[in-house]
Amino acid sequence: MNNIYEKAMLGIFVIALLLVLYAMYDTWYVFDHANDDSLLAYKPNGVNAAELADSPILDDMVGWITVKDTNIDYPIMQGDDNSQYLNLDPYGNYSLSGSIFLDSRNSGDFTDQYSIIYGHHMEYGTMFGALDEFLNKEYLNSHKTGELLVGRDGKEVYGLELFYAMKTDAKETMVFDPEKYEDLRQFLETQGFTSDNRILCLSTCAGEASSERTVVFAYILEN
């Protein structure tokens, strides 16, 4: 009996060890994909057309977003719907960290008055995990600038001025329905923000198993 018991305990220990090792590998894999610096080689800034033509990033790339002094420096994808790039990286490979992507209802050239970009909330400020910091007004005021490159070749370049951050429910149509732009504009006016510039919203989950979202608004500035 003791021999059977020892073998059973050893089996349980081995299974537990394998589960721990798998969890560690899975965590590393997700983090590694979220920090894939290879993407930066295909950022349109300063890259000639010939190099861009050979880029392995999918043709669904509609632009590139950078927020100064943060980890946000990613291509923007746009799928046929808002689930396509949740678990698909810009190369078309399965990835739990997914991609930064533009709402499928928005125009891919960012000419809409209001555009929404989504990204997973990853640890250590990667992907859109960096958005949490903007809820702190002091941080927001010191990280207000960014850049939006439009198109696969980045032919159109716009400045970004980040001006307001908040938490909201994922079902808040004022924020997450591009057609409710006027409602959002009126809300922002009550917060003291008035501008004729187009608005870009950056959105991420505020926590696991939560319907709450962290959103940061930015003006798209004409250069």
Residue 189 has what pLDDT? 97
Domain annotation covers residue 162: yes
Give the pLDDT confidence score for residue 32 in this predicted structure.
46
- Residue 186 pLDDT greater than 50, yes or no: yes
Q: How far is CA 105 from CA 29, 102, 110, 129, 179, in A?
A: 31, 8, 11, 24, 9
Find out whether 100 and 36 touch, Cβ atoms under 8 Å. no
pLDDT tens for residues 131-168?
Answer: 999 999 999 999 999 999 999 989 899 999 999 999 99
Residue 215 pLDDT: 98
pLDDT at 155: 85
The reply to whether 13 falls in a domain is no
φ/ψ region of 209 (left if φ > 0, alpha if ψ in -120 to 50, else beta) reads left
Among 2-11, 17-26, 212-221, the minimum mean pLDDT is found in 17-26
> Stretch 13-37: mean pLDDT, rounded?
45
5 in any annotated domain: no
Q: Does the residue 52 lie in any domain?
A: yes
pLDDT over 70 for what percent of the chain?
78
pLDDT for residue 223: 74
List the CATH number of the domain containing 207: 2.40.260.10
Question: Is residue 147 situated within a structural domain?
Answer: yes
Residue 27 falls inside a structural domain: no
Q: Is residue 2 in a domain? A: no
Q: Is 201 a catalytic residue?
A: no
- Mean pLDDT (the chain) is 85
Collapse the DSSP code of 23 into the 3-class scheme (helix H, G, I; strand E, B; otherwise coil) and give the result.
Answer: helix
Residue 186 in any domain: the answer is: yes
Q: How many domains would you assign to the chain?
A: 1
Check residue 11 and give its pLDDT.
54
Tell me which of 34, 39, 131, 205 is the catalytic residue: 205
Q: Where are the beta strands (DSSP E) in the chain?
A: 61-67, 73-77, 100-102, 114-118, 145-150, 156-169, 198-205, 212-221
Instruction: Quote the domain boundaries for residue 92.
Output: 37-221
The conformation of residue 88, written as its DSSP 8-state character, comes to B
For 126, the token pair is 């990667």
pLDDT tens per residue, range 68-119: 999 999 999 999 999 999 999 999 999 989 999 999 999 999 999 999 999 9
